[in-house]
Amino acid sequence: MDEDSRGSKILAWLTTRRKTKAIETVRLHVTKVVDTVVELNNTVISASRGRKIEAEKCISRLFSNEDEADALRRKISEELTKGESPAKEREDLMRLTMEIDNIADCAKDSARSIVIVMRQSVPKEIWRGFQKISESTVACVLALRDAIDMLGKDLDETTKCVLEVERLEHQVDDERHSVQLLFLEFADWLNAPTLLLLDDALRSMEGVTDCCEGTGDIIRMLIIHEATSKMGK
């Protein structure tokens, strides 16, 4: 089976009335990943305001959401092994699921660094930069969720959502650069371990949108396959 035919079959599978439990669980999985990224944003907001106890509660909820996302990923894997679709189609859907799960992993890694660094004195300008990026990551993962919700329903809307994911990913790249300039500006203020932790948190936060874009690329591939298949008919 060629790539175009396979992509068409995947989308046909998504739109059939007899949707498998795996598809429904994918959408639940995305929702839980969104919750994880939202808690990362809440963590940054609390840390920037010096509310350490509140930040720790946010991180605790983040970890719980990430654990639930992992459980859903495993459930999807189990459902796919029971499915009736061809093995290659199940493989592509699992690839989509794994990339979605990577989003939550990056959010968790960023939170781990923040929970340590918030014990140090960090300039408010840097926290404001982090907050701006974390808000953009939430917007990005919400756009991705919308793309997955529309997948198999409305390809034009799915494409618009994927384009929004890409726009926000580029926006975060620019915002990250601005924060890195602040690292240089306050280099005399911050000690080396604190700078390293801040940079780790920043890179992991950027990883959230990178994984969103990677998931969008997989969705775009399916859309292209479907469009090409229709042109060939």
User: Could you tell me if 26 and 148 are in contact, meaning their C-beta atoms sit under 8 angstroms apart?
Assistant: yes
For residue 25, what pLDDT is reported? 80
144 located within any domain: yes
- List CB contacts of 179: < 8 A, sequence separation 6 or more: 126, 129, 130, 133, 202
**Rounded distance between C-alpha atoms, residue 61 and residue 123, angstroms:** 26
**Is 95 inside a domain boundary?**
yes
For the stretch 73-92, pLDDT in tens is 888 887 777 656 666 667 77
Taking residue 28's Cβ as centre, other Cβ atoms within 10 Å add up to 14
* pLDDT tens column, 101-127: 999 999 999 999 998 998 888 999 999
Residue-number span of the structural domain to which 142 is assigned: 3-222
Does residue 66 sit within a domain? Answer: yes
State the alpha helices, DSSP H only, in 49-123.
52-82, 87-117
Q: Which residue has the higher pLDDT, 197 or 224?
A: 197
Answer for the pair 101, 33: CB distance below 8 angstroms, yes or no.
Answer: yes
CATH classification at residue 171: 1.20.58.220
Q: How many domains does the structure of the chain reveal? A: 1
Domain annotation covers residue 229: no
Identify whether the C-beta of residue 18 lies closer than 8 Å to the C-beta of residue 65.
no
Tell whether 232 is covered by a domain.
Answer: no
List, for residues 155-183, the tens digit of each pLDDT value.
889 999 999 999 999 999 999 999 999 99
13 pLDDT exceeds 60?
Answer: no
* 67 is a domain residue: yes
In whole angstroms, what is the distance from residue 38 CA to residue 138 CA? 6
Q: How far is Cα 124 from Cα 185, in angstroms, rounded to an integer? A: 13
> Is 231 a member of any domain?
no
Confidence band of 2 (pLDDT split at 50, 70, 90): low
pLDDT category at 24 given cuts 50, 70, 90 is confident
> Among 36, 39, 91, which Cα is nearest to 69's?
36
Would you say residue 189 has pLDDT above 80? yes
Q: Is 230 domain-assigned?
A: no
